[in-house]
Structure 1
Amino acid sequence: MDTLVICIDRDNDLGEKAKVSSPIIGREENIKAAVALSIADPEDSDSNTIFGGVKVLDELRAKGLDAELITFAGDKKVGLTSDQKISQQLDDVLAKYHASNAIFISDGAEDETLLPIVQSRIKINSVKRIVIMQSSNLESTYYILKHAFNDPKISQTFFVPVGLAALIYSIFLLASYPEGAIIGILAAVGLYMLYRGFGDTVTVIWNKIKDDFHMGRLVIVTHTAALMVIVVAFVQGIVSVWQYYTQAGIWYHGLVPLTTVFIHSSVWWLVLAAIIVNFGRMMNMYLHGKFSLRQISSSFYAFSFGILFWGATTYILAFDPTIEGFQPSIVSGLQYFIYSIVIAIVIALAGIRISASPIRK
């Protein structure tokens, strides 16, 4: 056989509407299938595609070529499922008909997404698009948009932020506070974009939390406690900054001093959170008989960082006379900074010494 005339019904309208199974082989069988689909749904373009394939088949045979018309149908679940079905049907047909080339009959961009699959199995000499009483560009755009919105990844990325923004705006309008809608929308969309950006990481962490909860591990409690401590740390830092911000504004104090105030106020809470997390991990390993002194070194490192940040922020705040309540002299601030460096190095060396010790279970 010289040529196959291939028609594609990717979403299986032939099977769903006309109750015709595929592949459909031969001129007469394809005409019957196209007529049945036209009766079931006169607006479906797949019947026109098949009639277009019949016309191409007749032209080839009129030239004396040995050709055959075959229509492949996929599945209503357009995508992986439908493409696999069409691929399997195509392989079966090519094993029976050893054709040297093919002509691809298409009704638009959706069916043409199967071109790489067909080309990987047989040489395609021509692609003929059947367009009925409509703009080909418009039809292609329609199928591209339809395919995109049917893709869960694209639809979730597009519709969720828009829907979330509309919902938040309506809530603020209902509360007679439209000014707050912009803040709420930006915050919600920002959180959504962060989630999309770190989606895999969030999924891994969430699955780990569920496993720890169902296994009754202590780390679920210590991690929750650490999370609460982190919240307290941020609240403490924000409250400290807010006191100065409301007094004279950010431009009076400066962005760097206010950031330093935030770090100085929250650093020990963050250190405590790190120690709590490490404690939960140590207890979990102890209960499973895998505990070693090396696990304690993380707490030493966290404490060292805490001392360093506390000493550095104390010294920075000593230079700013507008920040009250953190006011050591510049000399005292420098002494605190030097002492913090020395103490942090000593504690870190102790942690390194412990982590280098032999493992004892």
Structure 2
Amino acid sequence: MASELLDALTLLEKEKGISREVLIEAIEAALISAYRRNFNQAQNVRIDINLENGSMRVFARKEVVEEVFDPRLEISLEEAQKINPNYQVEDIVELEVTPKEFGRIAAQTAKQVVTQRVREAERGIIYSEFIDREEDIMTGIVQRQDSRFIYVSLGKIEAILPANEQMPNEQYKPHDRIKVYITKVEKTTKGPQIYVSRTHPGLLKRLFEIEVPEIYDGTVEIKSVAREAGDRSKISVHSDNPEVDPVGSCVGPKGSRVQAVVNELKGEKIDIVKWSDDPVVFVANALSPSKVLDVIVNEEEKATTVIVPDYQLSLAIGKRGQNARLAAKLTGWKIDIKAESEAREAGIYPRNEQLLTFDEEEDTEEEYTID
């Protein structure tokens, strides 16, 4: 019995990662429940498990009192002092009450309780592991799909990928390996519930952290991300080190780094632009790949009017307004785009004191777009 018990505890500790102390507590709780249920006892009892010889004994715990009202929970001072003369009122006396059939009955009755406690402890370990991975990226394997969710195995647990977090240009098949972004970890009565996403902007950020060592070590920082999953995204990057080109670092040799991210996102187009604390420069960069002639800033309304060459107007606005919309999300500024001819007629361009001019050479240094 002793060797079997020790072997079982060692195996569970190794395979499930549950400490022996937790398992012992589960067994003790199960045996107390078994004793009370099978022997119709309501005493306050304690279970003693001897791991050396495998014995299990039951002790009734009774309080020493002057007058006994409930013999199941109390013992008189006179009776207590027959056991040990040193007992005083309010002391606790332990009396062994192990039934002859306790071992067999306890083993049968306790099995379910022990299993439940082990399962709860295992769920707690999984929850603790994954709660620290919220807003992180993991590689999972597609398991199955129903009308609402795709279920992705993350090893110890199956995560849920809701329909609104799935990329519209992707099809998910069983056994596909995909990278997912953990958006939420919940503790439920059925165990931890993990929600993941393929559309969250955080996924794009984490992918660049994986591919670009300069981002991982903090030399280059991703300042903001704007994403329309499956179609196009923009990220702004910055480095405090003047010798580091943040855009070039993200692009990589021959575009290898950004191409790896594009491949993972099944061809999603990505614009990489240089961040600036000057809204004029930042908004101009954010409208990549279009060219910008001028940016007029309204600080009070946090709005900008952007002047672009006539032939660049549709490019600046983008298909269904996508380029302008993403640029506004990226910068946090409202953006109103006007063609050069319209701006001249309105008398807002050129201004007497031009804040900044943008030429083709500067633009190619400040932005990178991969289609």
Comparing both structures, which one devotes a greater share of its residues to helix?
1
Same fold (TM over 0.5): no
Comparing both structures, which one devotes a greater share of its residues to strand?
2
Structure ranking higher on relative contact order (CA contacts 8 Å, 6+ apart): 1
Q: TM-score range by the shorter chain?
A: under 0.3
TM (norm. structure 2) is 0.27
